[in-house]
């Protein structure tokens, strides 16, 4: 199947030739110093029109030799070279024309087109800029193509938008605009432009085929974002994975999907998976603030506080006034400090995302294991009493929503230093547990609540 780029280049290659044929009707040009040059020019023009290129070329050679300053002779000889497919030979003649007559628009357009094909983009742009008029369709088309080849898509879009208004029913301009936006990762603008193409021609094959692709991709992305808003994060991850399958060849869409998967997993408290997904994005986009924040939060969930602090600090360098970064950094720093002391989650062996039932189940198992009545040796009993207090305090903090929230933000509700003026039921050691034995056995005649 022939690509649009190939077709576009073919069309552009014929435009200069057509311009030359039109310019052959140029009147009022003084073509030479004597009649022999005029005769060669007239014969060459007739032979060119008849398609007898070799004979026409001979006459234009003679005209150039007879009058080396006749820019029309050089121009028409260049035309023959172009018709013969000898663009390298045509280029010096076009340059000579411009040297003799700098305001010869057609010669500049043709030279710009040849330079564009040769990949000399800066030189081509220079020619197109000198001849482009705001109302001239042909020159704008050439300049837009030049910008596309140079990768300056913003400038190409500007010219194509103008072309869509300068030329009636310009479906090709809308199609090019849609494909450019698509390759830039802007699915919404791409959809808008291809719809304009189909309004002009509902049966346009290229636009209709492209429309189906863009519409499908746009719907998947919108659905994924709606799932994130509804906090259906695993479904959102699946939807963005489908986006990458729908369009695997445009890096911008893959990058978007991976970034949003990173965010969804972070929000879903899937620390390990989120870190992996976010890290993949940051390999190619290390200054992405949103991904740095999401990975930092995932590191916090995974209790890797030092790594979280690094990500927040990196993000802060690129977004100094972001309150989320400031709050996240302070939280990670508190949690790091806390982790170096006592961690109630680790004491019970549960994750930070554990539900109340899971916490109570872990507590019961450990309380039974470390109950002091299970130990006879004085040293072992003393160790068990300390362990039992830690277990009971962990259960007390993690099953109390207010206390757990404080702990999750880096504050220890059981630390007398951070809770001055507050009395804690476990302060004073194991024998300060008035009414706190879960099993009612041995010398401790206490009751215990599992709620």
49 domain-assigned: no
Residues 262 and 174 in one domain: yes
pLDDT of residue 14: 47
- What are 170-193's pLDDT values in tens digits? 999 999 999 999 999 999 999 999
Mean predicted lDDT score pLDDT of the chain? 84
360 domain-assigned: yes
CATH number reported for the structural domain that contains residue 373 in this entry: 1.10.287.110
- What are 60-73's pLDDT values in tens digits? 999 999 999 999 99
User: Residue 112, class by beta-carbon neighbours within 10 Å (0-12 exposed, 13-18 middle, 19+ buried)?
Assistant: buried
How large is the average pLDDT for residues 363-376? 92
Residues 235 and 289 in one domain: no
DSSP string of 205-230, one letter each residue: HHHHHHHHHHHHHHHHHHHHHHHHHT
Residues 309 and 278 in one domain: yes
pLDDT of residue 436: 46
CATH number reported for the structural domain that contains residue 305 in this entry: 1.25.40.10
Residues 207 and 254 in one domain: yes
Residues 285 and 220 in one domain: no
How large is the average pLDDT for residues 165-173? 89
Q: Which of 234, 190, 186 is nearest to 212 (CA)?
A: 190
User: Residue 169, class by beta-carbon neighbours within 10 Å (0-12 exposed, 13-18 middle, 19+ buried)?
Assistant: exposed
The residue segments making up the domain with residue 402 are: 356-408
Mean pLDDT lowest for which of 273-277, 429-433, 443-447?
Answer: 443-447
Residue 206 above 80 pLDDT? yes
Given 341, 371, 393, the domain boundary residue is: 341
321 domain-assigned: yes
The Cβ of residue 41 has, within 10 Å, a number of other Cβ atoms equal to 24
Given 248, 267, 286, the domain boundary residue is: 267
Residues 316 and 390 in one domain: no
Alpha-carbon distance of 58 to 66, in angstroms, equals 12
The Cβ of residue 280 has, within 10 Å, a number of other Cβ atoms equal to 16
Residue 448 above 50 pLDDT? no
Tell me how many domains the chain contains.
3
Q: What is the DSSP letter of 26?
A: -
| Bigger pLDDT: 109 vs 21 | 109
Alpha-carbon distance of 6 to 159, in angstroms, equals 20
20 domain-assigned: no
Residues 179 and 260 in one domain: yes
- What are 35-85's pLDDT values in tens digits? 688 999 999 989 988 889 999 999 999 999 999 999 999 999 999 999 999
The Cβ of residue 172 has, within 10 Å, a number of other Cβ atoms equal to 21
pLDDT of residue 17: 45
Which residue reads 């003649």 in tokens? 93
Residues 286 and 240 in one domain: no
8 A C-beta contact, residue 349 and residue 366: yes
219 domain-assigned: yes
How large is the average pLDDT for residues 320-347? 89
431 domain-assigned: no
398 domain-assigned: yes
Residues 327 and 395 in one domain: no
CATH number reported for the structural domain that contains residue 241 in this entry: 1.25.40
Residues 306 and 218 in one domain: no
pLDDT of residue 418: 58
Given 222, 239, 267, the domain boundary residue is: 267
Q: What angle do CA 311, 314, 318 make, to 5 degrees?
A: 135
Residues 309 and 367 in one domain: no
Contacts of 33 (CB under 8 A, 6+ apart): 66, 67
Residues 280 and 252 in one domain: no
pTM: 0.56
DSSP string of 152-170, one letter each residue: -HHHHHHHHHHHHHHSTT-
214 domain-assigned: yes
């Amino acid at each position: 199947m022939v690509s649009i780029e190939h077709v576009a280049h073919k069309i552009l290659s014929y435009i200069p030739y057509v311009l030359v044929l039109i310019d052959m009707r140029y009147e009022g040009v003084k073509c030479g110093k004597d009649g022999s040059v005029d005769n060669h020019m007239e014969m060459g023009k007739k032979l060119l029109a008849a398609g007898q290129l070799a004979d026409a070329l001979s006459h234009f050679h003679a005209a150039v030799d007879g009058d080396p300053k006749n820019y029309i002779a050089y121009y028409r000889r260049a035309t023959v070279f172009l018709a013969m497919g000898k663009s390298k030979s045509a280029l010096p003649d076009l340059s000579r024309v411009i040297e003799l007559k700098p305001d010869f628009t057609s010669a500049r357009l043709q030279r710009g087109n040849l330079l564009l094909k040769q990949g000399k983009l800066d030189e081509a742009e220079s020619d197109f800029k000198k001849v482009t008029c705001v109302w001239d369709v042909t020159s704008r088309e050439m300049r837009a193509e030049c910008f596309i080849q140079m990768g300056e898509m913003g400038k190409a879009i500007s010219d194509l938008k103008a072309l869509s208004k300068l030329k009636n029913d310009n479906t090709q301009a809308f199609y090019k605009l849609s494909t450019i936006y698509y390759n830039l990762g802007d699915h919404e603008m791409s959809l808008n432009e291809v719809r304009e193409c189909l309004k002009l021609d509902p049966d346009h094959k290229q636009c209709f085929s492209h429309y189906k692709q863009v519409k499908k991709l746009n719907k998947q992305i919108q659905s994924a974002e709606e799932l994130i808003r509804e906090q259906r994060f695993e479904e959102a991850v699946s939807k963005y994975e489908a986006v990458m399958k729908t369009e695997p060849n445009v890096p911008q869409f893959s990058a978007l999907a991976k970034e949003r998967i990173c965010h969804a997993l972070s929000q879903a408290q899937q620390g390990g998976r989120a870190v992996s997904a976010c890290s993949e994005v940051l390999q190619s986009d290390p200054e992405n603030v949103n991904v740095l924040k999401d990975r930092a939060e995932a590191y916090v969930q995974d209790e890797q506080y030092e790594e979280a602090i690094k990500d927040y600090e990196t993000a802060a360098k690129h977004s100094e006034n972001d309150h989320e970064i400031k709050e996240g950094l302070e939280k990670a720093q508190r949690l790091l400090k806390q982790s170096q002391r006592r961690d109630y989650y680790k004491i019970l062996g549960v994750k930070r995302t554990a539900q109340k039932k899971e916490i109570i189940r872990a507590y019961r198992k450990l309380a039974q294991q470390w109950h002091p009545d299970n130990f006879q040796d004085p040293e072992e009993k003393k160790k068990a009493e300390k362990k039992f207090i830690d277990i009971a305090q962990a259960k007390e903090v993690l099953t109390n929503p207010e206390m757990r929230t404080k702990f999750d933000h880096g504050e220890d509700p059981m630390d007398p230093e951070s809770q001055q003026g507050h009395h804690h039921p476990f302060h004073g050691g194991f024998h300060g547990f008035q009414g706190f034995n879960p099993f009612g056995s041995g010398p401790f005649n206490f009751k215990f609540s599992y709620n």
